[in-house]
Amino acid sequence: ILNVEQSPQSLHVQEGDSTNFTCSFPSSNFYALHWYRWETAKSPEALFVMTLNGDEKKKGRISATLNTKEGYSYLYIKGSQPEDSATYLCAFFASGGSYIPTFGRGTSLIVHP
Amino acid sequence: DTEVTQTPKHLVMGMTNKKSLKCEQHMGHRAMYWYKQKAKKPPELMFVYSYEKLSINESVPSRFSPECPNSSLLNLHLHALQPEDSALYLCASSQDMAYEQYFGPGTRLTVT
């Protein structure tokens, strides 16, 4: 069983605040890391697919970094808006052929107007 | 069309019933997944089909039976379920294994 941890479990911020959260994963046998956003009553939506150590990806106000050597990825949201309120999930894929995703429990973000 | 559809949205079934969940995508994706998700827990992978062949079966009880009739369609047949099987069942697809996944809205299953 692979250990994929996300922290914090939940986060309340004010509109306009910048925030970040962490996904930790095994540093050996890395293949890929995905970030997903899951809004209430909607389907999880892919944000980023990260495969290379040192990757930095950006989509609007959201960005992510990857450190495969130490086994973590950060997700940053700049200037949070109420519509950013969602659960953010990471999914770790180990190398070795099966490519089974292991999801973290998610970080629940609530942005207050 | 970047949508994954799932039917039904809600399902209530007794422990002796037989029912099926359906998932469909028309993006030409070759990998399709079933997940089970319970409140405050991460999605748990149940099955993966790759190129219409069952690729991964994560030790799921036989009361859950997957079927992939063609590359666009994925079914999950349910029989003799237990109340603890009540959960949100998510379907997803991806271009190939480990590519970004597109999720359906899920079927909320309640077993009485």
Q: Residue A112 carries which side chain, given as an amino acid letter?
A: H
With an 8 Å Cβ cutoff, are B42 and A106 in contact?
yes
Can you tell me the distance from the alpha carbon of A5 to that of B10, in angstroms, rounded to the nearest whole number?
Answer: 30
Q: By a Cβ cutoff of 8 Å, what residues of chain B touch chain A?
A: 4, 40-45, 48, 55-56, 58, 90, 92, 97-106
Cβ-Cβ contacts under 8 Å, B45 against chain A: 100-101
**Residues A79, A83, A86: CA angle, nearest 5 degrees:** 100
Tens digits of residue pLDDT in A93-102: 998 877 889 9
Query: Nearest Cβ partner of B42 from A34, A89, A93?
Result: A89
For residue A32, what are the contacts with CB-CB under 8 A and spacing of at least 6?
A: A49, A50, A51, A92, A93, B98
SS3 content of chain B, % helix, strand, coil (to 5): 5, 55, 40
Confidence of residue B1 (pLDDT cuts 50, 70, 90): low
Can you tell me the distance from the alpha carbon of A89 to that of A106, in angstroms, rounded to the nearest whole number?
Answer: 4
Cβ-Cβ contacts under 8 Å, A91 against chain B: 101
Cβ-Cβ contacts under 8 Å, A104 against chain B: 42
* Whole-number percent of chain B with pLDDT over 90: 88
**pLDDT of amino acid A59:** 96
Helix (H) or strand (E) holding A73: strand A72-77
With an 8 Å Cβ cutoff, are A45 and B43 in contact?
no
Tens digits of residue pLDDT in A47-103: 999 999 999 999 999 999 999 999 999 999 999 999 999 999 999 999 887 788 999
With an 8 Å Cβ cutoff, are A43 and B4 in contact?
yes
Mutate to test the interface with A, among B97, B102, B107 (most CBs of A within 10 A): B97
Nearest to A111 by CA among A86, A89, A90: A86
Burial A17-44 (b: 16+ CB within 10 A, else e): eebebebbbeeeebbbbbbbbbeeeebb
* Contact in structure between B67 and B83 (CB atoms under 8 Å): no
- The SS3 assignment for B55 reads strand
Is B68 a residue whose pLDDT tops 80?
yes
Can you tell me the distance from the alpha carbon of A55 to that of A44, in angstroms, rounded to the nearest whole number?
Answer: 22
Closest chain B residue to the Cα of A5, Cα to Cα: B42
